[in-house]
Each structure stands twice: as C-alpha cells, then as structure tokens.
Amino acid sequence: MRGVIVSLALCAVPALAQDPFAAAKQLAGNAATKQVEAQVNKKLLAEAHKNQCSFKTDSDQLAPGCDKKLKNLTSVLIDAKKRLDGAGLSNYKFEVSGHTDSSGAAAHNKELSGKRAAVIVKELVARGVPDREIIAVGMGSERPLVTPDDTAAKKAKNRRYEIQVRL
C-alpha cells in the first residue's frame, strides 16, 4: 500500500512542475498582448480627442455637427477590432468613459457623464460597432485633464469622452 502511495505521489510531481518553455511562451504572450493593448489604446485616445462631439449644456443631447466625427470614431474602432482579432485576442470591451468639469455636484456630474458616454455608445453601435463589445462608464469629474479648471477653456478640456480597450 505504501508503495502505491509513493508511486502516485511521484506521478503527480511532474504534473505540478511547470514546463519552462510553456512559462516562457506565456510570458511572451502576455508581453505581446500588453503591447497590442497599449498601441490600440494610444490610437483610440488620440482619435477620441480629435473627434469630440459636443453636448448641449447640462444635457446628454448631442450638439449638431457630430455625424462625421462619429463616423471617424466608428472606423477607428472597427480597425482596432481587426487588429485585436488578428492578434488572437478575444473577450475585450471598448470602454467609452464620459468626463465632466468640476462645476456642479459630484453625483450629478457622474450621472451626466454616464448618460453622455451611453449616447456615444448608442451612436457607435448604430454605425456598426457590436453592442456586446462596447460599454459606457461615467467618470464625472474624477479624472480631469486640467486642474484647476477655473476658466472656460480649461473646463471645456475636462468635458470629454475617452475610448479605451479593456482586455
């Protein structure tokens, strides 16, 4: 009986030991994934900054003149999707985060930024981005680009949306 237990234990040891080549392959895969994610996010953030749509004051209603910008963003997301799929990545989400300036109550700003992000998501889905691959998140004034935002120009920079991929 004792010999059987020792034999079983010895058989289990190789199963527990990790293959060094598999570990190296996994590390290389993780590094490549992080590199693709960083490159895609850099492009998405730049394009979102270039293609900002305005909203009516204290509203989630888009101001006129956003159609071309939304078409550009859709093209960028479709290209990013192709790049991610081509790299063998799956189970990713594009995250549209809405941001506000520091004016007003924090709770109201968080809600408003979420509604604005949801409008952008709805528009991108209507133009061909799969709805299962994109989400909206309201950030309110939690992550300003400019502090303090004590001028109209600085406030305008903080009122934005950003798009990133989350793996």
pLDDT at 30: 80
State the pTM of this model.
0.80
Q: Cα separations (Å) of 42 from 9, 19, 49, 61, 115? A: 50, 35, 11, 27, 24
Q: State whether the Cα torsion 93-158-54-105 is positive or negative.
A: positive
How many whole angstroms separate alpha carbon 82 and alpha carbon 26?
23
- What does CATH list as the number for 22-166? 3.30.1330.60
* Residue 129 near residue 94 (C-beta atoms within 8 A): yes
Q: What mean pLDDT, rounded, does the chain reach?
A: 86
Average pLDDT over residues 143-160: 92
Residue 96: strand, helix, or coil: strand
Name the CA dihedral angle for 61, 65, 67, 69, rounded to a multiple of 10 degrees. -100
Instruction: Please state at what angle helix 67-86 crosses helix 20-50, rounded to 10 degrees.
Output: 170
Please write the tens of the pLDDT for every residue from 84-103: 999 999 889 999 999 999 99
Model confidence band, residue 7 (pLDDT cutoffs 50, 70, 90): very low
pLDDT at 9: 43
